[in-house]
Structure 1
Amino acid sequence: MTRTDVRLVPLALAVWLAAALLVGRTLAPLVVAGLAALGTAGLVVRARGRRARRAGRTGLPGVVLCLVGVLAVALIVAADARAARSELLAEASRTGERATVDLLVAGEPRALPSAWGGAPRYAVDVRVEHVRTGSGQRARAEPVALPAALVGTRWKDVVVGERVTASVTVAARGLDGRRPRYDLRGATAPRPLEPASPVRRVAHGLREGLRTAVVGLPPDAAGLVRGIAVGDTRDVPDDLVEAMRTTGLTHLTAVSGAHFSLVGALVLAATAALRVPRGPRIAVTVLALTGLVVLVGPDPSVLRAAGTGAIGLLALAVGRRGAAVPALAAGVVVLLLLDPWLARSVGLALSVAATAGLVVGGPLVLGGLHGARRWCAAALAAPALAQLACAPVLVLLSPNLATWSLPANLVAAPVVAPTTILGLAATLAGPVSPGLASWLAGLAGYGAGWIAGTARAIAAWPGASLPWMSGPAGAALLVVLEAALVTLVVVRARRARGVGGSWDP
């Protein structure tokens, strides 16, 4: 049996906790960085003084590693704190003065209801890079790096990655547990500053090609094919969104680690069948996953999903099952050092929980199985383990249990992979053959229709959402109950194999 290496888990937990506590603060990161540096230096000196007598018997290296991680994240947060503030945006939000902003387009335009029958309005996620207020001698300018949500009437055709400038009215949202965010309202038409890169424009064209390919499909299927394939949920009907939320199926329309794991596993299997050596096989898989990141848009949630989804694939590619947990811990540390604000991201918590559920619970449930039985058990166990692992995090957000989420995921699971692959194939076929793209999208529509029908049918069952104890106590209680359930299932399964004969073919 492969022993799980958990030595990097304390480091990941320490970095996550430090980042969650420090982001959004100014003085605290510097204080923590100083204390971590002093603690690290003291422990290193102590370890050197006792090296001969305590060699191989001390836990100091692990403690030092945790302190170094805390020091690194504290310094990064301190450096980020200045860029996360904008005096001019804050002043414009208080006075109502219009500001001229230079923006990086970070998301696809989303249509909003028109006000009093006026011109169509669009919401766009942007990143503010420069602010200018006033004119003449009162003119002031400030470089910043802040996310914002913009609403305007002539923003339908902007492309992710494009840099534009516009005049806006600023409204502050406040911190709300995340970076300071602002609403930019009444935006004038965007004036181009710098076009999106050729790669971004190609990705935009592919996504729009899929939108054309699904024309003619039923609304549920058309919206879900795009949502499942490339994470574009703009056309998913609102009542279907609510049904999927009630049944725990919303993760299917968010580009998650499962998407990257599926594509990566397919590429690995294809290259292995062609007898490609391990090194080139890994390189081709990385290239394919990079292309998927570019296709769906390299925003923080996609990068987080790509990182967590690649963890299991890395362990699989190098042939070491025990490498999954340290790879997950290392991936968490890297993501948090790149963007400490992810420590307060529900998306990261859900991705890590789902991945941990699979890499820890999978071997327990599938141990001793081989061949077709193992594949069937894995197909049933994967959504069950991911759902169980994510449930405590979801309870912290809303003290309700999606009672039927497990059967809903089990019913939907068989068509998720074919729908995803066919949707991506339709996306790539669009520029070459629109007819082939429409045909592939039509095939994907059957799976999307099955998922939509499952969500709507199960959401109508009695007790689809039940109240649960709120707060950390409710999450802890759910963890205990789930651990008991998994233990019972594993013990009974192993006892059945030992008493009734082996399950192995």
Structure 2
Amino acid sequence: MTPDPERPRLDARLVPAALAAWAAALVALGLGWGPGAVVVVVALVAVGVGVLRRDRRWAAGVLAAGACAAAVGGLSSSAAWQVADHPLRAAAASGSAATLTVVLTDDPAPVRSSGLGGPRVVVRADLVSAQGGGGRWVGEGDVVLLAPAEGWVGLLPGQRATASGALAASTRGDLTVAVLRTRGAPREVTPPPGVQVAAGDLRAGLRDAARAVLDDDPAGLLPGLVVGDTSGVAPDLADDFRTAGLTHLTAVSGANVAYVLGAVLLLVRLARLGPRTAAVLGLVALVGFVVLARPSPSVLRAGAMGAVVVLALALGRRRSVLPALAATVVVLLLVDPALAVDAGFALSVLATGALVLLAPPLVARMRERGVPPGIAEALAVPVAAHVVTAPVVAGLSGEVSLVAVLANLLVAPVVAPATVLGVLAAVLAPWWTGGAHAAVWLAGPEVSWLVWVARRCAGVDGATVSWPGGTVGGLALAGLVVLGAVALRWRRVRLVALAAAVGLLLVFVPTRIVPVGWPPPGWAVVACDVGQGDALVLATGEPGRAVLIDAGPDPGPVDRCLARLGVRSLALVVLSHLHVDHVGGLAGALRGRPTGAVAVGPVREPLDTFAQVQGRVRAAGAPVVGMERGVVLRWPGLALEVLGPVHPSTHVDGEDGSEVNDTSLVLRATTPLGRVLLPGDAERSSQDALLASGTDLRAEVLKVPHHGSRSSLPGFLVAPGSRLALVSVGRGNSYGHPNPSITGLLAGTGALVRRTDESGDLALVPGSRGPAVVARGDPLPDPRRR
């Protein structure tokens, strides 16, 4: 094929220099300052060789790579040495108490709560001074604070604050000196910088306008889409975005900057203004967006990446795009060497590189095959970005989304207009409320489409598959991507791949959405595979109606499990106790399903979790009711009896997991297949009280307490005399559940032990000798199995 004279070749001469600089920083941060110093010496030798070589072209490349590696490696090694020698590091290793004065460098970010001690945030900051471990230090250093959300949420980058707590060594591979775990609110908080106040006003105006015009989900999503403000995004919607591979849309990235600058430059072109005017207006728009999104390190990085592509292309210098990207990488690493190990930095660079290297050839090939120009770009850009970033995402999450490419293709046409309209609304809000509302109204259909696509794609059963996490998993997927790209250069391979894709669409996808033989006929109880948590569905004998015991940790899995079972309404939802692995998925269970009531036990702690439950239940239009020992509820095909707790405490320590577990409701369900004992997470104290009270615990099926942890009494486990034992547990959980001694004890009684982490959803069905268990994915429900 002859080269296209109208398609300029990319200048890749600076790419080796950027890669060498990045590698030098990785060595220094990953292996220590000693190996980093060795890399610097090698790089300086390469510089000397480049100076002495007569071949100027070859020498220039070696000289550039060596110089960049030496500069970035030297700074990274120096920073690594300072961290290793930092006095606070020794205090952190011993777990000393300390008081730190810090300056925030980013917004406090929420972390997934374990249900103990309330919601918490992670705060990244620069150290100003520290006191603890018998000493006081004044100096610099990156620190991370794990703090309660109350008092810390709302603080802005640039504010100084003081906090006390226990130090811990950092497990991060960057330049973090120490981690401070604090339980209190910040003290001696200084006012935020003026630019941060301005940004806060603009962002608040966007949130208010969105809430005034749009429904809840689109209103919460629009600020996240525009400026990364996800405070209004519901947890279940955030989970759906993650499953669908759309989480990148709610984080400020180079794409946000590219959309804004692209809109500005399009207006410049329509006005027939010159390149210099375009550059000036583009720079003004860039600075304005950085202020709106708040100038944190991640936003500045995104600004640099987005500006590289748009400005270089707008100025008509396509060959300079790749050198600009490489130079930006080197400059950012010189400013902040810790970016070398930052996943967001890697994703930004890879996505930007995909736009430069992969998207144009894909667009050209599509056009050659008759694809219209606008559609070709809309298809090529998300495919290219997803393919190159998939290995990093897989390494971080330990899973690969099978619907991500489709989801990104579906939303690609609406992301840019929604982002630009959202920015316009934020700019207008402080001065012209009507104009801001009009911009939000115009963005409404686009944002609602994003919500619809995320919900539907995440609802596909098997939307994600497990993949080895970490560096090994990422490199393995990267290797497969490269092999696939090389193999697709041959026509026969492309034809085979096309046939395989059609086969997957016609056979695999439908069976994953509606698995053959599921749900099995006559099911009475289903233990849903919701990961490390509990969610059990009890048939009431009424078509499409069931009782749900607990909802798992996340909204998506329980929602999909109920949908697979055809459950359209819930007679009752029982929350055995208020830990997040039992209540975190409540919003997903209630989504679109009329619910009679949500029941909780006599103890309503932790209080913050109970308040969250009340809010979600009110939003669903259902009441919250109490349940206690002795209550019996009946439906046509189900009876539910509350056996415990026998002696409910009047107060528990919200941070003591065992005490909260012992407040679990202990239930016994009577079904057409027999009795099922459901003890929640009840531990030794509650179990001992039940045994001492003489309560009849006999049941044909036992839901093993607390995911099979060793906190159960042997006498309690054998008292029911169960023939089946169901363990609801997450695959690869860090708690060691289920404990081998517990499963061994149950197996020794003759009970069949089945686990959701091994078999997925488990259903109890009629069998020739009583209840039998069928796992989703079994070829056919076999009533003889047990």
TM-score scaled by length of structure 1: 0.85
One-letter code of the match for 2:123? D
Is 181-190 or 70-79 further displaced after alignment? 181-190
Asked whether the equivalents of residues 83 and 89 of structure 2 are also in contact (C-alpha less than 8 Å), the reply is no
* Distance in 1, Cα, partners of 2:403 & 2:444: 24
Distance 1:478 1:425, change over 3 A: same
1:23 aligns with 2:29: yes
Give the aligned partner of residue 404 of structure 1. Answer: 403
1:349 to 337, 343, 346: 346
Please state whether the residue corresponding to 2:229 is helix, strand or coil.
coil
Asked whether the equivalents of residues 121 and 154 of structure 1 are also in contact (C-alpha less than 8 Å), the reply is no
Distance 1:486 1:210, change over 3 A: farther
One-letter code of the match for 2:400? L
Larger Rg: 2
Give the aligned partner of residue 131 of structure 2. Answer: 133
Distance 1:39 1:409, change over 3 A: closer
* Distance in 1, Cα, partners of 2:252 & 2:382: 16
One-letter code of the match for 1:125? V
Give the aligned partner of residue 266 of structure 1. Answer: 263
1:221 aligns with 2:228: no
Q: CA deviation at 1:440?
A: 2.8
Q: Deviation digits for residues 323-354 of structure 1, max 9, x if unmatched?
A: 22222222212222221211112212222222
1:475 aligns with 2:478: yes
* Distance in 2, Cα, partners of 1:184 & 1:418: 42
Asked whether the equivalents of residues 125 and 148 of structure 1 are also in contact (C-alpha less than 8 Å), the reply is yes
* Distance in 1, Cα, partners of 2:475 & 2:442: 44
Q: CA deviation at 1:373?
A: 2.4
Distance 1:34 1:468, change over 3 A: closer
* Distance in 2, Cα, partners of 1:240 & 1:399: 20
Distance 1:26 1:451, change over 3 A: same
Give the aligned partner of residue 191 of structure 1. Answer: 188
Give the aligned partner of residue 452 of structure 2. Answer: 453
Give the aligned partner of residue 284 of structure 2. Answer: 287
Q: CA deviation at 1:170?
A: 3.2
* Distance in 1, Cα, partners of 2:440 & 2:169: 39
* Distance in 2, Cα, partners of 1:425 & 1:28: 49
Asked whether the equivalents of residues 22 and 28 of structure 1 are also in contact (C-alpha less than 8 Å), the reply is yes
1:337 aligns with 2:334: yes
Q: Deviation digits for residues 2-38 of structure 1, max 9, x if unmatched?
A: 1221111111111111111112623333333233224
Q: CA deviation at 1:279?
A: 1.1
One-letter code of the match for 2:210? V
Distance 1:487 1:315, change over 3 A: farther
Give the aligned partner of residue 207 of structure 1. Answer: 203
Asked whether the equivalents of residues 15 and 73 of structure 1 are also in contact (C-alpha less than 8 Å), the reply is yes
* Distance in 2, Cα, partners of 1:259 & 1:239: 24
Asked whether the equivalents of residues 155 and 190 of structure 1 are also in contact (C-alpha less than 8 Å), the reply is no
Distance 1:60 1:354, change over 3 A: same
Distance 1:431 1:376, change over 3 A: same
* Distance in 1, Cα, partners of 2:235 & 2:338: 29
Asked whether the equivalents of residues 157 and 296 of structure 2 are also in contact (C-alpha less than 8 Å), the reply is no
Q: CA deviation at 1:441?
A: 2.7
Q: CA deviation at 1:189?
A: 3.7
Q: CA deviation at 1:236?
A: 1.4
* Distance in 1, Cα, partners of 2:316 & 2:21: 28
Q: CA deviation at 1:230?
A: 0.8
What are the residue-to-residue correspondences of 1:244-263 with 2, within 5 Å?
Answer: 244-263=241-260
* Distance in 2, Cα, partners of 1:111 & 1:339: 25
TM-score scaled by length of structure 2: 0.56
Please state whether the residue corresponding to 2:245 is helix, strand or coil.
coil
* Distance in 2, Cα, partners of 1:82 & 1:133: 22
* Distance in 2, Cα, partners of 1:192 & 1:320: 48
Give the aligned partner of residue 158 of structure 2. Answer: 161
1:277 aligns with 2:270: no
Asked whether the equivalents of residues 144 and 180 of structure 2 are also in contact (C-alpha less than 8 Å), the reply is yes
Distance 1:478 1:400, change over 3 A: farther
What are the residue-to-residue correspondences of 1:96-111 with 2, within 5 Å?
Answer: 96-104=96-104, 106-108=106-108
Give the aligned partner of residue 496 of structure 1. Answer: none
One-letter code of the match for 2:276? G
Give the aligned partner of residue 388 of structure 1. Answer: 387
One-letter code of the match for 1:3? R
1:306 to 279, 303, 307: 303
One-letter code of the match for 1:99? T
* Distance in 2, Cα, partners of 1:272 & 1:235: 36
One-letter code of the match for 1:131? S
Please state whether the residue corresponding to 1:215 is helix, strand or coil.
helix
Q: Deviation digits for residues 244-282 of structure 1, max 9, x if unmatched?
A: 112111111111111111111111111222222211210
The gaps in structure 1 that reach 5 residues or longer are 493-505
Q: Deviation digits for residues 437-465 of structure 1, max 9, x if unmatched?
A: 33433432332221111111112224312
Q: CA deviation at 1:105?
A: 5.2
Q: CA deviation at 1:92?
A: 5.6
* Distance in 2, Cα, partners of 1:446 & 1:458: 18
Q: Deviation digits for residues 291-328 of structure 1, max 9, x if unmatched?
A: 11121122222222222211221321221222222222
What are the residue-to-residue correspondences of 1:70-149 with 2, within 5 Å?
Answer: 70-84=69-83, 86-88=86-88, 90-91=90-91, 94-104=94-104, 106-108=106-108, 123=121, 125-133=123-131, 140-149=136-145
Q: Deviation digits for residues 148-189 of structure 1, max 9, x if unmatched?
A: 13424333453332223x231133252332232513412444
Give the aligned partner of residue 14 of structure 1. Answer: 20
* Distance in 1, Cα, partners of 2:132 & 2:363: 66
Asked whether the equivalents of residues 83 and 175 of structure 2 are also in contact (C-alpha less than 8 Å), the reply is yes
Is 122-131 or 227-236 further displaced after alignment? 122-131
Give the aligned partner of residue 182 of structure 1. Answer: 179
Please state whether the residue corresponding to 2:333 is helix, strand or coil.
helix
Q: Deviation digits for residues 369-422 of structure 1, max 9, x if unmatched?
A: 499921221122211221122223223334533112111111111221121112
1:241 aligns with 2:238: yes
One-letter code of the match for 2:228? G
Give the aligned partner of residue 366 of structure 1. Answer: 363
Asked whether the equivalents of residues 111 and 122 of structure 2 are also in contact (C-alpha less than 8 Å), the reply is no
One-letter code of the match for 2:128? H
Distance 1:260 1:471, change over 3 A: closer
* Distance in 2, Cα, partners of 1:32 & 1:481: 33
What are the residue-to-residue correspondences of 1:426-505 with 2, within 5 Å?
Answer: 426-468=425-467, 470-485=473-488
Q: Deviation digits for residues 213-245 of structure 1, max 9, x if unmatched?
A: 222533321221010011011221222222111
Please state whether the residue corresponding to 1:147 is helix, strand or coil.
strand
Asked whether the equivalents of residues 218 and 451 of structure 2 are also in contact (C-alpha less than 8 Å), the reply is yes
Question: Quick one: percent identity of the two aligned structures?
Answer: 35
Give the aligned partner of residue 33 of structure 1. Answer: 40
Asked whether the equivalents of residues 98 and 168 of structure 1 are also in contact (C-alpha less than 8 Å), the reply is yes
* Distance in 2, Cα, partners of 1:242 & 1:316: 36
Q: CA deviation at 1:114?
A: 12
* Distance in 1, Cα, partners of 2:306 & 2:228: 15
* Distance in 2, Cα, partners of 1:487 & 1:439: 51
Asked whether the equivalents of residues 14 and 64 of structure 2 are also in contact (C-alpha less than 8 Å), the reply is no
Q: Deviation digits for residues 456-504 of structure 1, max 9, x if unmatched?
A: 1112224312345735233201222144447769x99xxxxxxxxxxxx
Distance 1:104 1:403, change over 3 A: closer
Distance 1:372 1:406, change over 3 A: closer
* Distance in 2, Cα, partners of 1:337 & 1:377: 37
Asked whether the equivalents of residues 109 and 155 of structure 1 are also in contact (C-alpha less than 8 Å), the reply is no
Q: CA deviation at 1:95?
A: 4.6
Distance 1:95 1:258, change over 3 A: closer
One-letter code of the match for 2:195? V
